[in-house]
Amino acid sequence: MGSVVSCGGEKKKEEERYLRANDRPFNLSYCYANNAIKTSKYNIFTFLPLNLFEQFRRLANAYFLFLLILQLIPQVSSLSWFTTAVPLALVLSITAVKDASDDINRHKCDKQVNNRTVDVLIDRELRKEKWMNVQVGDIIKLENNQFVTADLLLLSSSEPLNLVYVETAELDGETNLKVKQALTITGEMGDDIEALAGFNGEVRCEPPNNCLDKFKGTLTVNKQVHSLDNDKVLLRGCTLRNTEWCFGLVIFGGPDTKLMQNSGKTTFKRTSIDHLMNVLVLCIFGFLATMCSILAVGNAIWETREGSVFTPFLPHEPGVNSALSSFLSFWSYVIVLNTVVPISLYVSVEIIRLGNSFFIDWDRKMYYPKNDTPAQARTTTLNEELGQIKYIFSDKTGTLTQNIMAFNKCSINGKSYGELYDFAGQRVEITEKTERLDFSWNQLADPKFIFHDHSLLETVRGGNPEAQAFFRLLALCHTVMPEEKKEGQLNYQAQSPDEGALVTAARNFGFVFRSRTPETITIMEMGRKVVYDLVAVLDFNNVRKRMSVIVCSPEGKLTLYCKGADTIIYERLHPSCNKLMEDTTGHLNEYAGDGLRTLVLAYKDLEESYLEEWRQRHHEASTAMEEREERLDQLYEEIEKDLILLGATAVEDKLQDGVPQTIEQLAKADIKIWVLTGDKQETAENIGYSCNMLREEMKEVFIVAANTAEGVRGELQKARRKMCPDAAEEPSVVKARAGLFWVDKIETVEDEKVDGDYALIINGHSLAFALEKDLELELLRTACMCQTVICCRVTPLQKAQVVQLVKKYKQAVTLAIGDGANDVSMIKAAHIGVGISGQEGMQAVLSSDFSFAQFRYLQRLLLVHGRWSYLRMCKFLQYFFFKNFTFALVHFWYAFFCGFSAKTVYDEGFITLYNTVYTALPVLGISLFDQDVNDHWSFQHPQLYFPGQMNMYFSKKAFVRCILNSCYSSLVLFFIPWAAMQDTVRDDGKDIADYQSFALLAQTCLLIVVSIQLSLDTYHWTALNHLFVWGSLATYFAVIFTMYSDGIFLIFTSSFPFIGTDRNSLNQPNVWLTIFLTTLLCTLPVITLRFILLQIRPTINDKVRYKMRTEVLAAPAPHRPLPRRISTRRSGYAFSHSQGYGDLVTSRKFLLKRPVRSQLPLFIKKDSPVAESQPQHYRTINEEPEESHHP
């Protein structure tokens, strides 16, 4: 994969990057991108032409521009040009202002990032430069807690062995620190500015690409070539941690960085209703053209047969015959009937969406007081699509979880600690108000550590040997690095968050890990300083699933301490532990049932003579050239036998509040949730159980972990056949056409029915094969049969690919939710992107359409705001098309009685104000305030969400029904007043059967009918609804009495020819009787049909609304502790743990500021695999208490 480099007007694909340090002219000759980023779409010069071009791509806007041009032709226009120009300009202006506002915000974000400063080595001195001015080949200096400016080759650092620690949360969502290490040849330069300024190394590497975990290149220094890999590179988006300073060489800048390559392309998102409206508008154009053609033919016939009679009174213009008259009348009727596609439709849609967006912004039940974070609708064009979601793609870390590990419970010598019981022996739920243990007796305790069970502290302080041995093991058996900048202020760098939680627990219970050297570990045991000699570290790997340390106490006692997965440790226990093992197993099942991550602890006393002999064999194995790993494993197996069981730990990967309940509610709404995470399989699986996404009662949880394409295919097919044995081998793909002009080809993979619940877990390398063209349908088919899908170790791009796969073949509305930069591509790919403003920065929020602080708010966003928005938009569209088609079709029937002359039925003032004044506010009222049931009933019955997923409220069928209703209503509205007014006289014998009186009667009937239709569609009446409906009718009568008055006629004689029509007509009883009869005939069929459907085929909404009227909503059940769930599935060992870190912590070089030659301790390999280590700065395990704000 190569980027496109533009140089001197020529564009060519970059195949290899070649650069030289400290040589800007040389590097600029290759025209590499600088470090500036641009996410904005416009600048001050391109805004107007580009924005207008985008807006006129919308079919309706182009149509009204064409209409405006027609109205400028006198022979065609029957209405003034400004009747179209003003609304069109208004629509374009409102949309342009909104687009400009959005783009200004993007410019501000770009400017904020581009104007950050960093130290750049220029002309042998460090200068402050803006990020955007940094060039490829520059050497820059980063300091602790700074963001990495660009993709850098690490040259040197302040830490021993040229190590640096980086937090990659913005890239992969993981908060544990990663270790990077510079080459020795560059590390020797340190912070010597002269040496760095004279450095002229040349780098050849891969072109810009989006692979976060791979990098290939070489560095040539003094004609010596050194290999470069991913562990020598710092990526933009990382943050430097626990490292005083480091120097790096810029390899990729700005858009070429891996972060930006992974960010995905920004696409303009439109809702499914938008797409449907475009198709309907096209259909309406066809309908309009058909009507105008019929009327044009009618005009030609009438002119030929009847027109000559009227020629003495209405002479033709010179050269106009019946054919030309027919042609001109076609375009005249296009103008007269243009209300079937009213431009106010698009203005109203934007206003409705904006209003519903404000309701999301103002919702106090989605406000998170702890961080002062309200919910935010960052995009105002997607609200109704929130009511149609079928698939949710969620990140795990920081989205479902809090990124906080807590030591929750433990089992010591067969007794479980961590639970609280009342006097009756009943389990008591632990809440934020529950009394905490007081650790003030321990000066080195972590003040943020929380534990509630007093009996454990009393046991430890009472001198119980097993309890003290338990915490002694936790303080000794680990690879944590301590940092004590001030006396008593300990900071632990842990390779996995589990280890940090366990060492912190030991610290608070009186066994404080204080410091380490390559040969010793110093701990404070109940206030007494004890130094243990570290004899050996038997490191963790994915096969062993355990780690051990061998230490020698000051008294000379040799002990092996071991911790690991229960199944692994149990196989190595001494037979005397069988009874204790049964008790501990019971506790482990309880802990696993609570979704906790468990480890088993054991120890073994060693004889000095045996150890000496074992050490000799270990030395021989560790220096062997062949089968070294196998021989070492055999030695580890030999010594880790006949262990004595101490107990087990249970660590909670804290979920955000309300996550299980939210997932349960969304599942009831038939929304499928897929978890796409960068974490390891075991971690994701454990969280799946904690969230109730994975359940013990599921028939099977399929795990796909093959390393070849054929292996992945086999595992997917095996899972599919097990779930649905009768299914066809080939997927059922339905091909169809959709979109504007039906040019888009779509393929839909149909759902297949499965008995029972299944789950699918697939890891990153298997997913890479499964996403290939020949396997993607197999993956989709198998995954969609499952209730739950979890994808582990996925890259940001794979997240987007999974979303796009579902979008492509399922034709369902998708939502992606995440909180880190690694979720940006997924958020952009989905129909709706939701960002959580959490601990991983604001990148996800900046790219999202909606944002809030907690995952639990998602159910309110979808089940309440989304459903209401969809319901309101559908009602709005149905009513809007009804009132405008009815309005226009009356003109159609009138054409047969006016010689097809394009004469309007209504007064011009009524035509102007019908959509903008008389019917504008009532329809906005129903579109902003209507709700079928309130939010409490929406939560009580998530099934109310089903109709939105199936497009039941507005579709092509609903549109056709709306047209048929309009045809019927327009027939009644024209012919009843026409028949009633024909040959009618006033009470005093004067004639009222004139054009003006008929127009007044017809428009009055029309307005009353559409107002009653709106009232029938309104479920939820507010004061504003009443004001808008009755106020609009009152406004209509006030306007006609004013416009038809003598005073207005005297001022504007030619513009208001309806003088006195209101007085002449509306004081006659037969006129009001006609209005009543017309209204009754229009509304009675609608009411009858709805009554019948309610009786024989009620919808879920009808049932719940009936229930709401007849029942009182049950009060929420008092919150009780969840019943104990027993599980035989237990978590594996230290999920984020990686092999090789044990060697690093026992390396003397690690603890010195500069490498010095020294003899390494026995049992330590010389080559330290730093590349595989991922230490983490352990965060303290609790936050301040917060109030729970559930919807």
Is residue 595 classed as helix, strand or coil in its secondary structure? coil
Confidence of residue 1159 (pLDDT cuts 50, 70, 90): very low
Window from 32-46, 561-575, 613-627, 980-994 with minimum mean pLDDT: 980-994
363 is catalytic: no
Q: How many helices (H) and strands (E) are present in the chain, helices listed first?
A: 41, 40
pLDDT tens-digit map of 658-682:
888 899 899 899 899 999 887 767 7
Q: How far apart are CA 805 and CA 785, in angstroms?
A: 15
pLDDT at 1173: 34
pLDDT at 1007: 94
pLDDT tens-digit map of 203-253:
999 999 888 778 889 999 988 888 888 889 999 988 898 788 999 999 999
Mode of pairing for the β-strands spanning 151-157 and 245-252: antiparallel
Decide if 651 contacts 502 (C-beta within 8 A): yes
Average pLDDT (418-437) is 80
Crossing angle of helices 272-305/867-895, nearest 10°?
A: 0
Half-sphere exposure of 124 (CA within 13 A, CB side): 3
The secondary structure of 221-250 as a DSSP string is ETTEEEEE-GGGEEPTT-EEES-SEEEEEE
The alpha carbon of residue 884 and the mean position of all alpha carbons in its chain are separated, in whole angstroms, by 38
**Rounded to 5, what percent of the chain is helix, strand, coil?**
45, 20, 35
Question: Which of 155, 223, 202, 148 is closest to 23 using CA atoms?
Answer: 202
Decide if 400 contacts 691 (C-beta within 8 A): yes
Evaluate if residue 1120 carries a pLDDT over 70. no
CB atoms within 10 A of CB 530: 18
As given in the structure block, the two tokens for residue 868 are 């209401």
Average pLDDT (888-895) is 91
- H-type helices in 306-393, by residue range? 307-310, 322-336, 344-362
Evaluate if residue 890 carries a pLDDT over 60. yes
Q: Which residue has the higher pLDDT, 517 or 1025?
A: 1025
Question: Which of 837, 838, 787 is closest to 664 using CA atoms?
Answer: 787
pLDDT tens-digit map of 57-78:
777 778 778 878 877 877 776 6
As given in the structure block, the two tokens for residue 151 are 């993709």
Give me the chain's average pLDDT, please. 82
Torsion, CA 880, CA 882, CA 883, CA 887, rounded to 10: 130
pLDDT tens-digit map of 1016-1074:
999 999 999 999 999 999 999 998 888 777 666 566 555 566 666 767 777 788 888 99
As given in the structure block, the two tokens for residue 576 are 């005397």
Q: How far apart are CA 464 and CA 1023, in angstroms?
A: 71
Percent of the chain with pLDDT strictly greater than 70: 84
pLDDT at 1170: 32
Confidence of residue 875 (pLDDT cuts 50, 70, 90): very high
Confidence of residue 739 (pLDDT cuts 50, 70, 90): low
Evaluate if residue 319 carries a pLDDT over 50. yes
pLDDT at 205: 92
Angstrom CA distances, 869 to 109, 696, 1158, stand at: 30, 37, 70
The alpha carbon of residue 207 and the mean position of all alpha carbons in its chain are separated, in whole angstroms, by 30
Question: Which of 1146, 1177, 1170 is closest to 163 using CA atoms?
Answer: 1170
Evaluate if residue 467 carries a pLDDT over 60. yes
pLDDT tens-digit map of 283-309:
888 888 899 999 888 888 888 877 666
pLDDT at 1058: 65
pLDDT at 387: 92
Dihedral sign for Cα 913, 919, 925, 926, please.
negative
Q: Exposure of 857 by Cβ count < 10 A (0-12 exposed, 13-18 middle, 19+ buried)?
A: buried
pLDDT tens-digit map of 1124-1154:
555 555 555 444 455 555 665 665 544 444 4
Highest averaged pLDDT of the listed ranges 302-306, 752-756, 854-858, 897-901: 854-858
Evaluate if residue 1168 carries a pLDDT over 50. no
Query: Of 256, 395, 453, 1143, which residue is the catalytic one?
Result: 395
Average pLDDT (266-294) is 80
pLDDT at 506: 94
Window from 664-678, 737-751, 793-807, 862-876 with minimum mean pLDDT: 737-751
Average pLDDT (1089-1100) is 91
Confidence of residue 532 (pLDDT cuts 50, 70, 90): very high
